[in-house]
A and B are shown apart, each in its own frame.
Chain A
Amino acid sequence: MKLKLAISSAIEALLANVLRSFLTMLGIMIGVASVMAMMAISEGAAIQVDQQISALGASNLTVRPGASRRGGRHSGANSAPPFTDKQVQILQQEPYVTAISVRNSGAVTVVSGSDNWATQLYGTNVGYFETQSWGVTAGEIFTQRQISQSAAVVVIGKTVADTLFEGTNPLGQVIRAKNVPLRVIGVLEEKGQSSFGGDRDDIVIVPITTARNRILGAHKTTPKHVSSITISIADGYIMADVQNQLEDRLREIRRIKPGSADNFRVFNIADFVRARSSTQATMGVLLAFTAAVSLIVGGVGVMNIMLVSVTERTREIGLRMAVGARKGDILGQFLAEAILLCLIGGLIGSALGVGAAELAANVGGFPISISPMIAATALSAAIFIGLFFGYFPARRAAQLNPIEALRHE
């Protein structure tokens, strides 16, 4: 088969009837445009979900005490004994841990001068800022040394800073929580809304020792208690495997007898967010499927017109065979015609698809993402459709008997 000849013959044929060529392309155009738009929208939604996950800590596992059971009485979540500093130190040795953070929390009212604000107080270690990938916009976070000294220092969230200090520099100021004066040493980066709708910036963070010893108080049975642990997992580990290993390790550390229920729970935040967004993903798949169907319908349209074209041009095919075209040459010419129709239709469709996606973003407020990958996928789908639906008419042309073809009226 002579490729250049096949393509140039195909172009000549398409130009010979521009209107028909355009109408044939229309189906493919609409199909590709809808595939593009749907993929852009579902890709945009997926990226938004990923952003939410990474904002919450992409590869974090969180461990909380489970329910306790004593003498047949089943208490609620978090009623089991909390963790301890010692247990945290043991967990830190596990190979998959890149950072480990601890957190005790409680509701407090913070007071600055005559102003006050009810907010959430976290007592954490230094690792907390690492597992949450959270830094400060001003000042600094507390140090290991300040933790061991139960230093009266605090890092405040943006909402608290805005509320209590309204434009003045909060650094170095003193706020009081449960009458304990705390010196503001840092203001946290803005995190915005959590996926649960809460304000993540409405927070004050102190060293865990300070929280335990001076503000929130110690646990009644467990000294040096930790009520929540978050672990960042190293790259290359499979989340589910690590989760199993971690659960086994925790049973050892917490001396749970075989056969007894766990008194802790491991949460995988990424799973939670994905589950929440799975309805959205199903919707996207459904829409993409519908778009693919329209692409196939477009392909059937191409096949239809190509069959008509083969019948109309029977004499021409006979002539081409008489002057020396091989079967492969004829096959190539008609295949090239179908592919070219689909490719041009696909290019125009891609442009329309981008336009439609932009419209959905601007008018409908959908998050969209248009990557070259999407365009490449849509275009290769179009070429594949041309190849698939063009083959049958092209084969029919190539199988014509030249004598009968030349006699065809």
Chain B
Amino acid sequence: MMANLTIGEPLIKCVDVTKTYIMGEQQVHALNKVSVDFIAGEMTAIMGPSGSGKSTLMNLLGALDTPTSGDLFIEGRNLSSLDVDELADLRNKTIGFVFQQFNLLNRATALTNVKLPLRYSREPVADIDARAIECLSMVGLSDRMNHRPMQLSGGQQQRVAIARALATRPAIILADEPTGALDSRTSIEIMELLVTLSKQGITVILVTHEEDVAEYAARKIYFRDGVIVADDRKMT
């Protein structure tokens, strides 16, 4: 999974990453020369007001977008050297996404939803069903496999989404406001689940507005106007 990296080495490395949008006549720097490393196995919360650049960074980390300038390395590979298909394969193999709105396929069962990334995998998994069932058990939903999203609660739907993110055994989980659509009690369950995954060695990076959600993370990075204004690690 983490080929030539050990825990403690930077898994993700951003060097002078800039993302510029052109809005009419004006250039907007969504990210302005951001350099930051993410260490394997560390759980990080990215915070900041709307438009501060945190979502832009998440899109870049998720290989969904490319920087205007600067370099981004994941597992030592420079993303700007990869073509669109290689980026798709990287997302499939190395990154798991968790979204605020879950983004499950409503007509498919929980099991089918979890199988989706495995079906796109270029490295065939011997038993896709067994793998998906295993991931659903990890999030505590082995008894809801054949339910459709509409038959599940919000918290359960987000668990299915996390199981889907885990399916290809990625090194990184990117969670964009994972508790934004959940009540506080369910939010706690989801955050505890993400902490557990982090303890198992997965690098969890999440974006959130809420300070108490960010508290679960070992590291908090604050963004404002496209630059990092604070980077705090919990003392352990």
Interface residues of A (CB under 8 A from B): 2, 5, 12, 16, 315-316, 318-329, 402-403, 406
Query: Of all chain B residues, which has the CB nearest A327?
Result: B84
Beta-carbon contacts under 8 Å, B81-123 to A = 84-85, 88-89, 91-93, 97, 99, 103, 105, 107-108, 116-117, 119-121
Cβ contact of A325, chosen from B62, B108, B120, cutoff 8 A: B120
Query: Are A326's CB and B64's CB within 8 A?
Result: no
For residue B168, CB closer than 8 A to chain A, the reply is yes
| Inter-chain contact A320/B64, CB cutoff 8 Å | no
A19 to B120, CA, bound (A): 29
Task: Report the count of interface residues on B (CB-CB < 8 A).
Answer: 24
User: Sorted from nearest, which 9 A-B pairs have the closest CB atoms?
Assistant: A324-B92, A323-B117, A324-B120, A326-B88, A16-B107, A319-B103, A326-B85, A402-B64, A322-B97
| Shortest Cβ gap from B91 to chain A (Å) | 5
Given A315-B103, A329-B120, A324:B93 Cβ within 8 A: yes
The verdict on B13 contacting chain A, using a C-beta distance below 8 Å, is: no
- What string of 1s and 0s marks CB contacts (under 8 Å) between B163-191 and chain A? 01000100000000000000000000000
Complex CA gap A391/B176 in Å reads 33
Measured CB to CB, the closest approach of chain A to B168, in angstroms, equals 7
B21 to chain A, nearest CB (A): 12
When distances are taken between beta carbons in the complex, the residues of chain B under 8 Å from A318 are 103
Chain B 10-52 interface 0/1 with A at a Cβ cutoff of 8 Å (1 = within):
0000000000000000000000000000000000000000000
Q: Quick one: closest B residue to A16, CB to CB?
A: B107
Which residues does chain B contribute within 8 Å of A327, judged by CB atoms? 84-85, 88
CB-contact partner of A323 in B59, B85, B91, B108, under 8 A: B91
B62 touching A320, Cβ below 8 Å: no
Q: Cα distance A328–B93 when bound, in Å?
A: 17
Q: Are A320 and B108 in contact (CB under 8 A)?
A: no
Taking each of A316, A322, A325, which has the highest tally of chain B beta carbons within 10 Å of its own beta carbon? A322
The residues of A that contact B103 with a CB separation of less than 8 Å are 315, 318-319, 322, 406
What is the minimal beta-carbon distance from B114 to any residue of chain A, in angstroms? 10
- Give the chain A neighbours of B105 by CB distance below 8 A: 316, 319
Task: Decide: A323 and B92 in contact? CB cutoff 8 A.
Answer: yes
- Cβ distance B117 to chain A, nearest Cβ, rounded Å: 4
Whether A324 lies near B117 (C-beta < 8 A) is yes
Distance in Å: Cβ of A7 to nearest Cβ of chain B: 12
Which residues of A have CB within 8 Å of B117?
323-324
**Assembled-state Cα–Cα distance A76/B99 (Å):** 96
From the candidates B65, B99, B107, B121, name the one contacting A324 in the complex (CB within 8 A): B121
Structural contact, A326 and B84, CB atoms closer than 8 A: yes
**What are 13 A-B contacts defined by CB distance under 8 Å?**
A2-B119, A12-B107, A16-B107, A320-B116, A321-B64, A322-B64, A323-B97, A323-B116, A324-B92, A324-B120, A327-B85, A329-B120, A402-B64
Give the residue of A319, A320, A328, A402 whose beta carbon is less than 8 angstroms from that of B85. Answer: A328
Residues of A within 8 A of B107 (CB): 12, 16
List the B side residues contacting A316 at CB < 8 Å: 105
Q: How far is the CB of A400 from chain B (nearest CB, A)?
A: 12
Please report the C-alpha to C-alpha distance between residue A323 and residue B117 in the assembled complex, in whole angstroms.
5
User: B59 near A324 (CB under 8 angstroms)?
Assistant: no
Closest B-chain residue to A402, C-beta based?
B64
Which residues of B sit under 8 angstroms from A326, Cβ to Cβ? 84-85, 88-89, 120
Q: Is B88 a contact partner of A325 (Cβ separation < 8 A)?
A: yes
Q: How far is the CB of B68 from chain A (nearest CB, A)?
A: 15
Measured in the bound complex, the distance between the Cα atoms of B71 and A387 in whole Å is 40
Contacts of B59 in A (CB 8 A): 403
Give B196 Cβ to nearest chain A Cβ, in Å: 22
> How far does the Cβ of A324 sit from chain B's closest Cβ, in whole Å?
2
Please, which residues of chain A bring their CB within 8 A of the CB of B91? 321-324
A2 to chain B, nearest CB (A): 7
Distance in Å: Cβ of A404 to nearest Cβ of chain B: 10
| Residues of chain A lying within 8 A (CB to CB) of residue B92 | 323-324
Shortest CB-to-CB span from B85 to chain A, Å, is: 5
A325 (CB) vs chain B CBs: closest residue: B120
Q: How far is it, in angstroms, between the C-alpha of A319 and the C-alpha of B161 when the chains are bound?
A: 11
- Other-chain residue from B85, B120, B164 in contact with A5 (beta carbon distance below 8 A): B120
In the complex, what distance in Å separates the CA atom of A16 from the CA atom of B148?
Answer: 13
Distance between A57 CB and nearest chain B CB, rounded to angstroms:
65
In the bound complex, how far is the Cα of B128 from the Cα of A209, in angstroms? 91
A403 to chain B, nearest CB (A): 5
Q: How far is the CA of A322 from the CA of B104 in the complex (A)?
A: 12
Q: Which residues of B contact A5 (CB under 8 A)?
A: 119-120
Nearest neighbor of B99 in chain A, beta-carbon distance: A406
Q: How far is the CA of A329 from the CA of B121 in the complex (A)?
A: 11
C-alpha gap A402/B103 in the complex (Å): 13
CB distance from B67 to the nearest CB of A (A): 13
Query: Which residues in B have their C-beta under 8 angstroms from that of A402?
Result: 64
Chain A neighbourhood of B168, CB < 8 A: 324
Identity of the chain A residue whose Cβ is nearest the Cβ of B165 in the assembled complex: A323
A2 to B89, CA, bound (A): 13
Q: How far is the CA of A316 from the CA of B101 in the complex (A)?
A: 12
Pairwise interchain contact B99-A321, C-beta atoms closer than 8 A: no
Assembled-state Cα–Cα distance A203/B64 (Å): 89
- The distance from the CB of B178 to the nearest CB of chain A, in whole angstroms, is 14
Taking A324-B168, A326-B89 as known contacts, 4 extra A-B pairs with beta carbons closer than 8 A to each other, sorted by chain A number, are: A322-B103, A323-B92, A323-B117, A329-B88
A79 to B62, CA, bound (A): 97
